Amino acid sequence: MITIGLTGWSDHELIQRTRSKKLEDYASHFPVVELDTSFYAIPSEKNIMSWIQKTPDVFTFIPKAYNLMTLHKPFYPDFPSMDDVFDAYKSALRAMTESNRVKAFLFQFPPVFDCTRKHVTYLKYVRLHMDDLPIAVEFRNQTWFSESNSEKTLDLLKQLKFAHVVVDQPQTPNNSVPKIVKSTHPDLSVLRLHGRNYEGWLGENVTDWRAERTLYDYTEEELSEFRLICETLSQESREVCVIFNNNSGGHAAKNAKRLQELLNLDYGYLGPQQLDLF
């Protein structure tokens, strides 16, 4: 099975019919969404319930781990301990996990999270404190996939029952990893597509790196490449989930719809769809 989704549901004009029902509109086109708001703050249980109620029973979420949990920010005293951060996060999303609406929790680690004993230990800590919940891991530091570490990294992900996030991104010197088309979990592989805007990803002489990093429109040839990758990963995992994160210029929905066509996928079971690509 191959599922396709986007990061967030609010900024995709191509598939939005009404301002007040952006999530409902989104969920009529794609079966999964990456929930990025959970990276910046732990969502309220009220919001979680609202998102569940607005989407079909078959619709799933990929919540990003809270930034303290991925070490993007230093620990601060709003919580007694890191254990309490994990507990608060899991508690807030319990309704989503208990209703089987979480495809995986995305732990996207920062570029400073390199392949060291300390960070290997932290990955084990994550597994311990996330219980048996499904987790996908994305690295941003090349040392995890150096010639000497690559196989060990994949083996570690398998041991911890983490799904490896295969990434497509520009190959800059300091904040990207190579595209390693390997599965580490029999249930799920994740392909996350950031675009190929090298200058934006590099971040040098860029006024707004958040806006420019994912400013990219994938070509037909590049989308055909992803079709082949999906077919390869499908031989190793029951599900391949593709997430388009190239939406600074609004290209994600268009590219996702085209990949859906190339793969002959039909998400009509989600409900009515109205879309004019032109």
Element (H, E) at 262: helix 252-262
Rounded-to-integer distance, Cα 272 and Cα 278, Å: 19
CB of 159 within 8 A of CB of 131?
no
Is the predicted pLDDT of residue 91 greater than 90, yes or no?
yes
Check residue 58 and give its pLDDT.
92
pLDDT tens-digit series, residues 116-130 = 999 999 999 999 999
Please give the average per-residue pLDDT across 163-174, as a whole number.
89
Check residue 275 and give its pLDDT.
53
Outline where DSSP puts E strands in 102-177: 105-108, 135-138, 162-168
For residue 210 the two structure tokens come to 């958040």
Check residue 274 and give its pLDDT.
56
Q: 5-19: b or e for each residue (b if 16 or more CB lie within 10 Å)? A: bbbbbeebeebbeee
- The pLDDT-based confidence of 257 (bands split at 50, 70, 90) is very high
- The pLDDT-based confidence of 176 (bands split at 50, 70, 90) is confident
Rounded-to-integer distance, Cα 159 and Cα 169, Å: 26
Check residue 16 and give its pLDDT.
77
Q: 164-177: b or e for each residue (b if 16 or more CB lie within 10 Å)? A: bbbbbbbebeebbb
Check residue 86 and give its pLDDT.
95
Rounded-to-integer distance, Cα 107 and Cα 70, Å: 6
pLDDT tens-digit series, residues 193-251 = 998 886 766 665 555 556 667 788 999 999 999 999 999 999 999 999 999 999 877 88
Alpha helical stretches, state H, 160-243: 198-202, 209-213, 220-233
DSSP letter for 268, please.
Answer: G
CB of 207 within 8 A of CB of 174?
no
Mean pLDDT, the chain, whole residue set: 89
Is the predicted pLDDT of residue 192 greater than 70, yes or no?
yes
- The pLDDT-based confidence of 268 (bands split at 50, 70, 90) is confident
Percent of the chain past pLDDT 70, that is, above it, reads 91
Is the predicted pLDDT of residue 36 greater than 90, yes or no?
yes
pLDDT tens-digit series, residues 45-81 = 999 999 999 999 999 999 999 999 999 887 776 788 9
Which domains are delineated in the chain?
2-270 (3.20.20.410)
DSSP letter for 103, please.
Answer: S
Rounded-to-integer distance, Cα 245 and Cα 5, Å: 9
Rounded-to-integer distance, Cα 53 and Cα 57, Å: 9
Place of tokens 């879309």: 275
